[in-house]
Amino acid sequence: MLRIILVFIFAVTTLLYSQVDSTKTEGDYIIFPFGFYTTDTSVALGTFFNYNCNDEDKIFSNLIYTFKDQKIFFVITEKKIKSIFIENKFWFEDYYLEYYGVGNNTELGEEFKYGYFFLENLIDVGYNFYGEWKAFLSLNNYYYSPGFNSDDILELYQKDIYSTGVGVNIRYDSVTDDFYRDGILFENSFLYFPESLGKSNSLNIFESQIAYYKSINESAINLQLVTRIVGGEPHYHQLSSIGGSSILRGYPERRYVDRNMMAFQSEYDFKVYKAVSLASFLSIGDVFDNVDNLSLKNIKLGYGGGMIYRIKDMGIRVEAASSLEGNLSIIITGARSF
């Protein structure tokens, strides 16, 4: 029954998409349906939704359902009220992933699937205090519940967890809203999850990124250095990871997991015909428990390329990515990798 409902939603959004006037730039929306197939998800149907009320107020969401009964939904909203900026990210997953173990030298062949249910909401409220600099106060609510085959993974971890984190975010952002971007993004965030504000152990998460964007005619060079450091007593799902559609594309989701992560990513996009661009990308990085675990022999490398179809200022990415392990990943999304 659920499949029939999702197919109906997919058909309706296809019809709505066909009615959208693509010449508008403000106060307009995009509804873009898509479908794809991979060995992990089987047949998948999804819908992108993007609404730009003006330059400051935006909504972006993504809904995915696979015929293996995996579900993902997220929505990102941005709102400006006078000099106050409000950003909210809501994420829901009723999903399963492969468990490969913890550490940067786990091997293929012994992984198994496990299920989980996951909800997260992050709200940032900030102020533009100087030039392109903004400071935010953050509130994070996080819920995780295990599904099938989770007992072996969670033997050393608390099973159902609910945690609330508070923190700060300092951001310098001069990146333009153009499709081929220019500017610099420098961001540091810190969240502290005390044991007293939930059903979990206390932990803290520090994240940092530096990104540089440079357009050249109708092309762009995109560079990013990203770091994530976890302290305290994290749950397995709160550990850092690489793999998936954002960090080191070419590796499966959460292929390598540990406390900390560092990665450098590069991408070159160039126009080939009207709204169609091609992209090539290369990323290196690793996860580690402490700096003694870092070694060139363990470095991970992901690479690939694909097509970006431009709808207004949003790009629909269709990519093929691989890695040193030789696997092939297909990525279809309306969100930029970075």
For the stretch 40-54, pLDDT in tens is: 666 778 887 888 777
For the stretch 152-200, pLDDT in tens is: 665 555 578 899 999 999 999 999 988 899 999 999 999 999 999 988 8
Does a structural domain hold residue 246?
A: yes
Phi, psi of 175 (to 5 degrees): -75, 130
Does a structural domain hold residue 222?
A: yes
Does a structural domain hold residue 229?
A: yes
The DSSP 8-state label assigned to residue 54 in this structure reads S
Which CATH number belongs to the domain containing residue 228 in this structure? Answer: 2.40.160.50
Q: How many domains does the chain have?
A: 1
Residues in CB range of 136: below 8 A, 6 or more apart: 85, 87, 124, 125, 126, 168, 169, 170, 171
For the stretch 12-41, pLDDT in tens is: 444 444 444 443 444 577 777 776 655 566
Contact (Cβ atoms closer than 8 angstroms) between residue 263 and residue 248: yes
Looking up tokens 């999804």, which residue turns up?
46
For the stretch 291-309, pLDDT in tens is: 887 888 889 999 999 999 8
Tell how far CA 46 is from the center of its chain. Answer: 16
Three-state secondary structure readout of 190-259: EEEECHHHCECCCEEEEEEEEEEEEECCCEEEEEEEEEEEEEECCCHHHCEEECCCCCCECECCCCEEEC
Does a structural domain hold residue 270?
A: yes
| Segments forming the whole domain that contains residue 302 | 82-333
Q: Chain-wide mean pLDDT for the chain?
A: 85
Does a structural domain hold residue 43?
A: no
Predicted local confidence at residue 29, as pLDDT: 75
Residues in CB range of 301: below 8 A, 6 or more apart: 248, 250, 282, 283, 284, 323, 324
Predicted local confidence at residue 25, as pLDDT: 43
With CA atoms as reference, report the closest residue to 51 among 77, 72, 74: 77
Does a structural domain hold residue 274?
A: yes
pTM: 0.86
Which amino acid type is present at position 180? Y
Residues in CB range of 254: below 8 A, 6 or more apart: 97, 98, 100, 241, 243, 244
Tell how far CA 10 is from the center of its chain. Answer: 23
Model confidence at 213: pLDDT above 70: yes
